Each structure stands twice: as structure tokens, then as C-alpha cells.
């Protein structure tokens, strides 16, 4: 019988089967439940406006004492009405976002099918990206200093649908059977632009290649998520010279750090991490690439601020209550 499991996923699966690694979602389930119930209990009733709602430790229900409005504590989150427990959601998402394991490999380690796991991870990823600004604003830390900005090109699959193309020469695919990836045609290359300031990492994907226009959203978001923006450091790409900011440059043809200490090493380090992480997907649509790159930047920010697990829980769970 042929075993089609990927090598790294197979090794981890064997360790799980031997009992060397055990995935226990219960502790994370409890964290999510406590966090969501505390938020619900502090809210006013959406039906009658009562100032607080009721939540008990031994019940999944949230209810209003005045009008008897009821719901479950996971309502409005990716955990609601799902085949997976919240802990399984988060274990899968962390394996996806913080390792080089593909979703297919993660599916071998957990019980859900690939399709179920893929949908859960993408939904969790969207919630994480939406909730990050609210959670980051509440993390007690000082973000200051210069903002380093750089760009890199990333080829995407160019496919507009929800699933990758399978085969066919008319889509640039291989004549051989099985799953193939379309490298895309002209215009299917995106520019990733990153802004790094202290622990904060912001990555966006832009379709055009006019770098002076692409810088705006990244710098604005770094400004929004940190203290008032200071200097912006870039390389000497000509398009950067028109920036309307306090601007310092380093010429990489001559040096990596100027005599004044100007560098883009933080962004270069981010690229060295994000590129092999993106490579595991073997191609992403434009929309998928943008979300994946943003997710990685935000997750890196939480890791650098030493709040990875609880921060992820809050990003996923709190964003619906904003």
C-alpha cells in the first residue's frame, strides 16, 4: 500500500503515535472559554440594552436576565458551530503560522480531514488579522525608534478561485496528471512591502510595482499601531526619495550600515524568515498571499513581544466584540 504522507508530517505523526508528542486542546479550550465569557459578561445585551450579561462556568450559554436573550459564548468567532474544539483550532493555526508545516502535513497530526482543517485555518487566519490591531493596542510596551522599510517581489499563482488549478496547458499547467501549480502570466507578481519598528512587523502586498505609492499604506499602518512615527530608513531605491517623511537611506552597493547607524537589517531578517515560510504553499493566489504575509508579520510581532499564545487567543476571540 502506497503511503503518500509528506516526510516531515510523517515523522511527526510517528512521534504522536508513539506517545512522544501529545496534542491536548483542553487547556487552550479553557483559556478561550474564560476569555470569551469575561468579554460577554461585560457587554450590554444586544436585544434590550441591559448593561451586563450572565455567564456561568458550567454552561456554554450567555443570557440576559431582563429579556431572556440567549446565545453561546463562541458566537461570532471561528469557534462557533465548528467540528473542531477551540484548542484544536489554535493548535492547528499555530502549527500552520509558526512552522514550515503545510496544512496537508498538519492534517496528518490532527484528526480533521484536509478540507475541514483548511477552512478552519483560513477562517482563523482572517480573524487573527482583523483582531491584531485591537490586541496590539492593549499590549503594554513602548514602540519607538526608526521604521525600516523594504520591498521584495513575490510570484503568486494568479488563480482567482478558492482552489488551485489542477492541470491543463491552457492555464500554464503541466500536461502530466495530478496537482499542478500555475506560475501565472505577466502581472501576477506582487510586491511585498514591510515596515519594521522595534517589535512591530507590518507586511502588505501590492499589485503594482510603483514603490513610492506602495510605501504609504505600510508606513501609515506602522504609525497607527505604534507611537508617533519617527525616522523612516530605506535603501536608495530612487522611488523612495520622494517620501514625505523624515528619511534616512543606506546604499547597499557600498555598505549595510552607514556611519550614522542607518540600516534595513530588521526587514532583511524578516524576508529571510518569511520567504521559506511562504515557499511551503507552493504558490498562493493574490488574496491568499496578502493575507498569509500579513499574518506572518503580525505573528512575528507577538512572538517578539513575548505574548504568542494568549495574544493569538485574544486576536481571534476579541475582534468580533470591537
In whole angstroms, what is the distance from residue 132 CA to residue 66 CA? 34
pLDDT confidence of residue 239: 67
pTM equals 0.82
Which triple of cell numbers denotes residue 255? 555598505
Residue 188's pLDDT is 66
pLDDT score, position 177: 40
> What integer pLDDT is reported at residue 115 of this predicted model?
84
pLDDT at 174 (0 to 100)? 40
Q: How far apart are CA 303 and CA 300, in angstroms?
A: 5
Cell of 84: 473542531
Residue 278: CB partners within 8 Å, gap ≥ 6? 154, 284, 289, 292, 293, 296
187's CB contacts (< 8 A; 6+ apart) are 158, 207
Question: How confident is the model at residue 169, as a pLDDT?
Answer: 37
> Kind of pairing, strands 189-197 and 247-250?
unpaired
Give the Cβ contact number of residue 206 at 10 Å: 19
Structural domains in the chain plus CATH codes: 7-137 (no CATH), 142-302 (3.30.420)
The pLDDT value recorded for residue 105 is 84
- Residue 198 half-sphere exposure toward CB, CA atoms < 13 A: 15
Cα(108)–Cα(113) distance, rounded to whole angstroms? 8
Report the chain's mean pLDDT, rounded to a whole number. 81
Stretches in the chain below the pLDDT threshold 70? 1-9, 140, 158-188, 208-214, 238-239, 241-242, 319-322
Residue 214 has what pLDDT?
65
pLDDT at 322: 56
Residue 50 pLDDT: 92
For the stretch 7-40, pLDDT in tens is 666 777 788 888 888 888 899 999 899 988 988 8
Q: What is the pLDDT of residues 59-114, one digit of tens each?
A: 999 999 999 999 999 988 889 988 888 998 899 999 999 998 888 888 878 877 78
Amino acid at each position: 500500500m502506497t503511503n503518500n504522507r509528506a516526510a516531515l508530517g510523517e515523522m511527526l505523526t510517528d512521534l504522536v503515535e508513539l506517545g512522544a508528542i501529545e496534542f491536548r486542546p483542553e487547556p487552550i479550550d479553557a483559556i478561550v472559554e474564560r476569555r470569551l465569557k469575561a468579554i460577554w459578561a461585560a457587554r450590554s445585551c444586544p436585544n434590550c440594552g441591559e448593561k451586563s450579561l450572565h455567564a456561568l462556568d458550567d454552561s456554554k450559554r450567555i443570557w440576559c436576565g431582563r429579556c431572556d436573550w440567549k446565545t453561546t459564548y463562541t458566537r461570532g468567532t471561528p469557534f462557533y458551530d465548528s467540528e473542531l474544539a477551540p484548542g484544536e483550532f489554535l493548535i492547528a493555526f499555530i502549527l500552520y503560522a509558526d512552522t514550515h508545516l503545510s496544512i496537508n502535513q498538519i492534517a496528518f497530526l490532527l484528526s480533521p480531514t484536509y478540507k475541514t482543517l483548511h477552512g478552519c485555518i483560513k477562517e482563523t487566519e482572517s480573524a487573527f488579522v482583523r483582531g491584531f490591531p485591537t490586541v496590539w493596542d492593549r499590549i503594554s510596551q513602548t514602540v519607538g525608534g526608526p521604521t525600516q522599510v523594504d520591498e521584495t517581489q513575490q510570484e503568486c499563482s494568479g488563480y482567482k478561485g478558492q482552489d488551485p488549478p489542477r492541470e491543463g496547458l491552457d492555464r500554464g499547467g503541466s500536461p502530466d496528471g495530478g496537482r499542478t501549480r500555475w506560475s501565472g502570466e505577466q502581472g501576477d507578481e506582487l510586491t511585498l512591502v514591510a515596515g519594521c519598528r522595534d517589535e512591530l512587523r507590518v507586511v502588505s502586498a501590492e499589485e503594482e510595482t510603483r514603490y513610492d505609492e506602495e510605501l504609504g499604506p505600510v508606513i501609515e499602518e506602522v504609525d497607527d499601531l505604534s507611537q508617533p512615527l519617527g525616522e523612516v530608513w530605506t535603501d536608495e531605491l530612487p522611488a523612495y526619495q520622494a517620501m514625505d517623511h523624515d528619511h534616512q537611506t543606506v546604499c547597499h552597493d557600498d555598505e549595510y550600515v552607514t556611519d550614522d547607524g542607518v540600516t534595513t537589517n530588521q526587514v532583511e531578517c524578516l524576508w529571510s524568515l518569511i520567504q521559506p515560510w511562504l515557499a511551503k504553499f507552493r504558490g498562493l493566489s493574490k488574496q491568499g498571499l496578502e493575507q498569509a504575509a500579513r499574518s506572518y508579520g503580525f505573528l512575528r510581532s507577538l512572538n517578539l513581544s513575548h505574548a504568542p499564545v494568549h495574544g493569538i487567543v485574544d486576536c481571534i476571540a476579541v475582534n468580533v466584540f470591537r
